């Protein structure tokens, strides 16, 4: 299941990968000079402790905590996307630390700074944000939260990471675009958002995501990872395939989508392989319409019923939505050129459906 592994009673959810054997603490201490590296250096080194941990390690998490081991801090790591990123970091035997607002209020710069400074943190991943439940319509009624989580917080993280010279990644969204380019191709990272407050055509959520990226313009040592409509093989209320299976009526639209685990792997690849900083569209190459996904659902035997569709987007907006939705196609050439591998969209969808695990 794509469910968070929350540990609310612990001050820090320190989910360092913890198997059997012994750990070389030299790995941790050797990382110290990294944090003090010159901020203006063009390249940054992967600190030794970001190399894979030995397969064998019997120390309890608390002991590692006492040693103050260095690692990747994931803000909002218990959320849907943060959980996938932490799972990938652990799979690669990299150290990961989840920060939750209810234990360390990372939305306050002084608290975040003190927290990162007190620990040997090599990299920060901001997977925090306000998405609205059950969908982005909820953001129209929770504007303060939405603005704080999606537009203000990225600036806070930027300020602190730049001050401390820590490289960091920001989970953004492709929902700052609508449609495709005039020639039918997807938007590239160079294209300015066309679904934002500046165009005055967007949902409050998309507007805030676009603002959050504006705040990061010219950011130092920062990756912006644009995610779009996540799906995977684990049935969950946040999974796009699960939503299609359960919604009473569907809107047919063409979109780029992100296979959740591949998205997480691409984020971690950026860190491990020192991919140049900048913005990346981390969606699976290609695009699909809702009807095409539904066809795949039926063909793979995930469901054999008929699916009901809204006649038009206007009908959908009138009957089922409070705010316009982004439906868009993204170009993934830049990510592919950087070696960030994502499976073509139809193949990725088919695989998720064939490996489907019901909740
Ligand atoms: N899920 C999607 O479909 C999707 C698609 C594209 C982009 N994204 C982006 O990916 C990021 C993570 O999304 P998600 O689906 O993982 O969301 P999620 O499950 O709701 O988790 C986000 C986490 O962010 C933290 N947070 C920090 N400030 C917040 C605020 N003001 N309001 C609410 N939560 C806040 C919370 O963690 P703590 O309280 O534990 O700190 C929360 O658990 C967001 O930036 C989102 O915009 C998501």
Q: Whole-angstrom Cα distance, residue 72 to residue 301?
A: 40
Q: Is 76 in the pocket of ligand 1 (CB under 6 A)?
A: yes
Q: Is 126 in the pocket of ligand 1 (CB under 6 A)?
A: no
Q: Is 227 in the pocket of ligand 1 (CB under 6 A)?
A: yes
pLDDT at residue 229, as a whole number: 98
6 CA: nearest ligand 1 atom: 40
Total-model pTM: 0.86
Choose the residue to mutate in 81, 105, 202, 257 for probing ligand 1, maximizing ligand atoms within 8 Å of C-beta: 81
Q: Is 149 in the pocket of ligand 1 (CB under 6 A)?
A: yes
pLDDT at residue 94, as a whole number: 87
Q: Is 78 in the pocket of ligand 1 (CB under 6 A)?
A: yes
Distances (CA, A) of 98 to 5, 90, 302, 311: 10, 12, 34, 44
Q: What is the largest CA-CA distance in the chain?
A: 63
* Strand 121-126, strand 168-173: pairing: parallel
Ligand 1 centre to CA of 81 (Å) is: 7
Q: Is 240 in the pocket of ligand 1 (CB under 6 A)?
A: no
To which H or E segment does residue 171 belong? Answer: strand 168-173
Ligand 1 centre to CA of 131 (Å) is: 6
Q: Is 256 in the pocket of ligand 1 (CB under 6 A)?
A: no
145 CA: nearest ligand 1 atom: 31
Tokens of residue 327, six digits = 């439906």
Pick the range with the lowest mean pLDDT from 15-24, 151-160, 166-175, 185-194.
Answer: 15-24
pLDDT in tens, 8-54: 333 333 333 322 222 222 222 223 333 333 333 334 444 444 544 44
The percentage of the chain sitting over the pLDDT mark of 70, rounded to a whole number, equals: 81
Name the region of 79 (left: φ>0; alpha: ψ -120 to 50; beta: rest): beta
Phi and psi at residue 263, to the nearest 5°: -60, -50
Q: What is the DSSP letter of 355?
A: T
pLDDT at residue 44, as a whole number: 45
Q: Whole-angstrom Cα distance, residue 314 to residue 310?
A: 9
Choose the residue to mutate in 6, 73, 75, 79 for probing ligand 1, maximizing ligand atoms within 8 Å of C-beta: 79
Ligand 1 centre to CA of 245 (Å) is: 23
pLDDT at residue 93, as a whole number: 86
**Bridge partners, 282 (sequence order):** none
Q: Is 128 in the pocket of ligand 1 (CB under 6 A)?
A: yes
Print the SS3 string covering 225-289.
EEECCEECCECCCCCHHHHHHHCCEECCCEECCEEHHHHHHHHHHHHHCCCCCEEEECCCCCCEE
pLDDT in tens, 110-154: 999 999 998 889 999 999 999 999 999 999 999 999 999 999 999
Q: Whole-angstrom Cα distance, residue 241 to residue 296?
A: 10
Ligand 1 centre to CA of 161 (Å) is: 19
238 CA: nearest ligand 1 atom: 1
Q: Whole-angstrom Cα distance, residue 359 to residue 353?
A: 14
Task: Please give the residue that has the higher pLDDT: either 341 or 24.
Answer: 341
pLDDT at residue 119, as a whole number: 85
C-alpha count within 13 angstroms, C-beta hemisphere, residue 231: 27
Q: Is 100 in the pocket of ligand 1 (CB under 6 A)?
A: yes
Query: In order of start, what are the domains of the chain with their CATH numbers?
Result: 13-228+260-284+331-341 (3.40.50.720)
Using an 8 Å Cβ cutoff, are 85 and 266 in contact?
no
Q: Whole-angstrom Cα distance, residue 165 to residue 220?
A: 8
Q: Whole-angstrom Cα distance, residue 228 to residue 211?
A: 17
Distances (CA, A) of 159 to 17, 116, 164: 29, 12, 9
Residue 55 scores a pLDDT above 60: no
* Strand 254-255, strand 308-309: pairing: unpaired
Q: What is the dihedral of CA 276, 279, 282, 286, to 10 degrees?
A: -110
Q: Is 205 in the pocket of ligand 1 (CB under 6 A)?
A: no
Choose the residue to mutate in 2, 97, 103, 131 for probing ligand 1, maximizing ligand atoms within 8 Å of C-beta: 131
pLDDT in tens, 266-308: 999 999 999 999 999 999 999 999 999 999 999 999 999 999 9
Q: Where are the alpha helices (DSSP H) in the chain?
A: 26-29, 32-35, 61-67, 80-91, 109-118, 143-147, 153-164, 204-214, 240-246, 260-272, 290-299, 313-319, 333-337, 345-354
Name the region of 122 (left: φ>0; alpha: ψ -120 to 50; beta: rest): alpha
Residue 222 scores a pLDDT above 90: yes
What mean pLDDT do residues 197-208 have? 98
Q: Is 83 in the pocket of ligand 1 (CB under 6 A)?
A: no
Confidence of residue 67 (pLDDT cuts 50, 70, 90): very low
């Amino acid at each position: 299941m794509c469910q968070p592994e929350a540990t609310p009673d612990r001050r820090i959810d320190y989910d360092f990968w913890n198997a059997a054997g012994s750990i070389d603490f030299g790995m941790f201490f050797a990382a110290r000079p990294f944090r003090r590296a010159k901020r203006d250096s063009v390249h940054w080194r992967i600190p030794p402790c970001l190399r894979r941990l030995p397969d064998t390690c019997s120390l309890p998490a608390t002991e590692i905590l006492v040693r103050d081991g260095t690692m990747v801090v994931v803000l909002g790591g218990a959320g849907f996307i943060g959980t996938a990123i932490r799972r990938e970091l652990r799979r690669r035997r990299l150290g990961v630390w989840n920060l939750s607002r209810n234990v360390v209020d990372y939305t306050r710069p002084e608290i975040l700074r003190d927290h990162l400074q007190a620990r040997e943190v090599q990299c920060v991943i901001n997977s925090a944000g306000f998405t609205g439940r059950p969908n982005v319509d909820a953001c129209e009624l929770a504007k303060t939260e939405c603005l704080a989580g999606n537009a203000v917080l990225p600036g806070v993280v930027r300020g602190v990471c730049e001050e401390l010279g820590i490289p960091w990644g920001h989970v953004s969204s492709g929902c700052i675009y609508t449609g495709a380019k005039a020639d039918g191709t997807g938007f590239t990272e160079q294209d300015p958002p066309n679904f934002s407050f500046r165009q005055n055509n967007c949902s409050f959520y998309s507007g805030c995501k676009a603002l959050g990226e504006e705040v990061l313009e010219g950011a130092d040592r920062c990756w912006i990872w644009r995610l779009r409509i996540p799906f995977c093989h684990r049935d969950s209320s946040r999974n796009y395939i699960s939503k299609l299976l359960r919604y009473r009526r569907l809107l047919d639209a063409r979109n780029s989508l992100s296979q959740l685990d591949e998205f997480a792997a691409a984020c971690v690849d950026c860190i491990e392989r020192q991919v140049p900083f900048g913005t990346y569209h981390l969606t699976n190459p290609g695009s699909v319409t809702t009807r095409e996904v539904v066809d795949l659902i039926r063909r793979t035997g995930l469901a054999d019923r008929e699916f009901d569709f809204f006649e038009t987007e206007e009908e959908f907006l009138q009957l089922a939505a409070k705010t316009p939705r982004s439906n868009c196609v993204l170009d993934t050439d830049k990510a592919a050129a950087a070696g960030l591998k994502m499976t073509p969209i139809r193949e990725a969808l088919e695989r998720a459906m064939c490996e489907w695990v019901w909740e």
